[in-house]
Amino acid sequence: MSSMKNYIRSICSTCTYMAYCSLTKDKNSIFSCSDYVHVLDITNEPTLIISNEMASKEFERELVLNYI
Amino acid sequence: MIAKVASKKAPKQGMLENVMRQFDNAADIIDLNTNIRKILEVTNNEIVVHFPVRMDNGEVEIFTGYRVQHNNALGPYKGGLRYHPTVDIDAAKALAMWMTWKTSLAGLPYGGAKGGIQLDPNKYSDTELERITRRFTYALGDNIGPELDIPAPDVNTNPQTMAWILDTYMSTKSPAERSTNMHVVTGKPIGAGGSKGRDRATGFGVFLTIKFWAESHNVDLKDKKFIVQGFGNVGYWAAYFLVNEGAILTAVQDAYGSIANEEGINVDQLFDYQKGNKGSILGYAKARTIDSKDFFSLDCDICIPAALGNQITPKNAHKLKAYLIAEGANGPTDVDAEEILLKKGIDIIPDILCNSGGVIGSYFEWLQNRNGEIWSLDEVMEKLEKKMKESFTTVIETSKKRNVDMRTAAFIIAIERLEEAYVQRGIFP
């Protein structure tokens, strides 16, 4: 968790792109980002498929975060 | 010593500071009633819950969850829940306040809220995350509710998380009441009460505001060049709809790097390439890789920062070639850069308006659940366009009437709606 010390109040600290992200050099105070991907999201599939539509291309996009 | 201080890098503008600055600016212009200003400057409720959860190894861990409810003068509190180590009361306060202005400007019957749990999801298994979510929902109890406070996905939470919250919340109700609580959260999977079109709502909204701006300025979007920072949910859909309108996508930047092609980049081909390339746009054959630091100075008509905050600063503002900036992300233009851009005559469609399609999409999901309806994708898109058009027109008219920029106009509208509600209802007792 040493990254937490470097990136103050920033979601970048747990982002999979943290080490090489080209969007910004200053990774402090980042509170939302459309490219944010937690390491967990890359390694794990959704745990629950309720309908076929959820498995569609559109739903995969819905899994991308930052709704609001 | 003075020289040393002067040369020190200016601190990045924090969320709360930015939100308060924009609020104060608009409040001063409209000479906001002092008592109402006092009310809006503080949050209504700040809920902190500590709750135990059994881990996979049998140990019990205590978690801290937050829910800040800023204001509900216009309707139930609305805002996301995020799971992240940086979640705390201060972060939630700023984001909750932001939601109040956003829902008010969008003309929705909602207030503003935000919350989450202070944790790193990477440390927990899926089953642990499910138990954490369910126990958090139980701890919040009746502090959330379909007519009181409606959470939505945010950082590290997704439709699955919302489905768990829904299931847990419904389980605490009597059997006869359960189905009347489907709208306690939005952003649900479609099979569990989610709405069609929710995935593209924000990006479509970004596109619509650009289209409305073009119409109001007699600009034809055909062959207009645009660049997009961020090729996630927002950037992709905004680009998709703009290209359908005849505009040309000439450059894209994501976490991996930047690519450009003045002849145009095929949005769907790039999306498919990115998907098969571990999420990276780099290496796409029909565009060249460019230095990311040059991205915002590329020649274009429209610039869409759709990734993260503080991207357009005094450092790069003067290099921008676009005549329109559409803020798909939250807070991509800092205050000092905005001054430079406005002086240059560059129009900015402010984030609070530009990316409000997402929360409007949430509102549609809530309405469908509340009324027992299921709308088709076409219906959702049609209603979204109507709602965004109303917001955009009001902002443009206010901007002209008061001779202010679009961001200030947006804040003025949001605050005036809240002021009107307080003036008409009065303050109890």
Alpha-carbon distance A20 to nearest alpha carbon in chain B (angstroms): 7
Q: Which helix (H) or strand (E) holds B71?
A: strand B60-71
**B35 lies in the same domain as B94:** yes
pLDDT of residue B197: 97
Instruction: Tell me the average pLDDT across B1-20.
Output: 54
Give the closest of A20, A54, A65 to B189, CB-based.
A54
Contact A31, B16 (CB under 8 A): no
The per-residue pLDDT of chain A, averaged, comes to 63
Contact between residue B359 and residue B102 where contact means Cβ atoms under 8 Å apart: yes
Q: What are phi and psi of B170, to 5 degrees?
A: -65, -35
Tens digits of per-residue pLDDT, B104-115?
Answer: 999 999 999 999
- For B206, the token pair is 């970004």
What is the mean predicted confidence (pLDDT) over B148-171? 96
Amino acid in position B361: G
Together in a domain, B130 and B279: no
Q: Measured between alpha carbons, how far is B226 from B233 in angstroms, rounded to an integer?
A: 17
User: Does B119 have pLDDT greater than 90?
Assistant: yes
Distances (CA, A) of B30 to B40, B41, B404, B414, B426: 14, 16, 12, 11, 19
Please report the residues numbered 86 through 115 in chain B whose beta carbons come closer than 8 angstroms to any beta carbon of chain A.
86, 91, 94-95, 99, 102
Q: How many domains is chain B built from?
A: 2
Contacts of A48 in chain B (CB under 8 A): 160, 163, 189
Q: C-alpha distances in angstroms, B161 versus B154, B208, B312, B330, B352?
A: 10, 29, 33, 23, 25
Q: Minimal CA–CA distance to B294: which of A17, A22, A56, A39?
A: A22
Q: Do B225 and B318 lie in a common domain?
A: yes
Domain membership of residue B275 as a residue range = 201-354
pLDDT score, position A28: 84
Q: Do B199 and A65 touch (CB under 8 A)?
A: no
Is there a contact between B292 and A11 if contact means CB atoms under 8 Å apart? no
Give the Cα separation of B351 and B73 in Å (integer). Answer: 22
Query: pLDDT at residue B9 above 70?
Result: no
- Is residue B401, in this structure, part of any structural domain at all? no
For residue B128, the distance in angstroms to the closest alpha carbon of chain A comes to 12
B222, B164: one domain: no
Mark whether B153 and B219 lie in a shared domain: no
Confidence (pLDDT) at A42:
53
pLDDT of residue B41: 94
The answer to whether the beta carbons of residues B417 and B410 sit under 8 Å apart is no
Tokens describing residue B182: 């489907």
Which of helix, strand or coil describes residue B53? strand
Last residue of a domain, one of B354, B382, B400: B354
Distance CA A34, CA B237 (A): 12
Specify the CATH number for the domain of residue B275.
3.40.50.720
pLDDT at B421 over 70: yes
Residue A40 pLDDT level (bands cut at 50, 70, 90): low
- Domain residue ranges of chain A, discontinuous segments joined by +: 2-62
Last residue of a domain, one of B156, B175, B192: B192
- Of B142, B138, B144, residue with least CA distance to B115: B144
Of B12, B200, B231, the CB nearest to A29: B12
Known binding residues of B for substrate are: 78, 102, 362
| Res B159 pLDDT > 60 | yes
Closest-CA distance, B94 to chain A, in angstroms, reads 10
Q: What does the alpha-carbon distance between residue B336 and residue B290 come to, in Å, rounded to a whole number?
A: 27
B342: left (phi over 0), alpha (psi -120 to 50) or beta: alpha
pLDDT at residue B98, rounded to an integer = 94
- Is there a contact between B307 and A58 if contact means CB atoms under 8 Å apart? no
CB nearest to B255's CB, from A21, A39, A40: A21
Residue pointed to by tokens 């006092």: B38
Q: Is residue B136 part of a domain?
A: yes
If you count DSSP H runs as helices and E runs as strands, how many of each does chain B have, helices first? 16, 12
B317 domain-assigned: yes
Residue A60's pLDDT is what? Answer: 44
Interface of B with A in 239-258 (CB under 8 A): 253-258
Least trusted range by pLDDT, from A1-15, B65-79, B274-288, B324-338: A1-15
Res. B12: pLDDT tops 80: no
Residue B389 in any domain: the answer is no
B178 and B209 belong to one structural domain: no
* Pairing mode of beta strands B302-305, B225-229: parallel
Using an 8 Å CB-CB cutoff, list chain A residues near B155.
Answer: 11, 32, 36, 65-66
Q: Per-residue pLDDT for A59 more than 90? A: no
pLDDT category at A2 given cuts 50, 70, 90 is very low
- Rounded to an integer, the average pLDDT of B372-392 is 98
Q: Which residues pair with B82 in a beta bridge?
A: B116
Phi, psi of B115 (to 5 degrees): -175, -165
Last residue of a domain, one of B157, B192, B227: B192
Regarding beta strands B45-54 and B60-71, do their DSSP bridges make them parallel or antiparallel, or are they unpaired? antiparallel
Pair B135, B233 in one domain: no
Q: Do residue B163 and residue A48 have CB atoms under 8 angstroms apart? A: yes
The string of pLDDT tens digits covering residues B176-223 is: 999 999 999 999 999 999 999 999 999 999 999 999 999 999 999 999
State percent of chain B over pLDDT 90.
89
DSSP symbols for A1-53: -HHHHHSTT-GGGGBTTTTT-SS-S--TT---BTT--BHHHHH---S---SGG
Number of other residues whose CB lies within 10 A of the CB of residue B20: 15
Averaged pLDDT, B121-146: 96
Catalytic residue set of B: 114
**CB within 8 Å: B279 and A37:** yes
What confidence score (pLDDT) does residue A4 get? Answer: 42
CA distance B17 to A66: 21
B155 and B230 in a common domain = no
Same domain for B157 and B60: yes
What pLDDT is stored for residue B106 in this prediction?
98
**Mean pLDDT, rounded, for B4-28:** 69
> What CATH number is given to the structural domain containing B94?
3.40.50.10860
B339 contact partners, CB below 8 Å, separation of at least 6: none
Residues B349 and B217 in one domain: yes
The strand pair at B60-71 and B112-117 is best described as antiparallel
Question: Are both B231 and B132 inside the same structural domain?
Answer: no
B10-14, B49-53, B139-143, B219-223: which has the minimum mean pLDDT?
B10-14
pLDDT per residue over B55-86, tens digit each?
999 999 999 999 999 999 999 999 999 999 98
Average pLDDT over residues B227-243: 96
How would you class B320 by CB atoms within 10 Å of its CB: exposed for 0-12, middle for 13-18, buried for 19 or more? buried
Rounded percentage of chain B residues whose pLDDT exceeds 70: 97
- pLDDT beyond 60 at B52: yes
Q: Identify whether residues B136 and B281 lie together within a single domain.
A: no
Over residues B338-347, the mean pLDDT reads 96
Does the structure show a pLDDT above 90 at A27?
Answer: no
Encoded tokens for B399? 């901007």
Band of pLDDT at residue B370, cut at 50, 70 and 90:
very high
What pLDDT is recorded for position A7? 65
Stronger pLDDT, A64 or B247, i.e. the higher one = B247
Verify cis geometry, omega within 30 degrees of 0, for the bond prior to B153: no
Asked whether residue B416 is assigned to any structural domain, the reply reads no
Please state the ipTM of this predicted complex: 0.76
Report, as an integer, the average pLDDT of B217-237: 96
Query: Which chain B residues contact residue A61 at CB under 8 A?
Result: 199-200, 233, 236-237
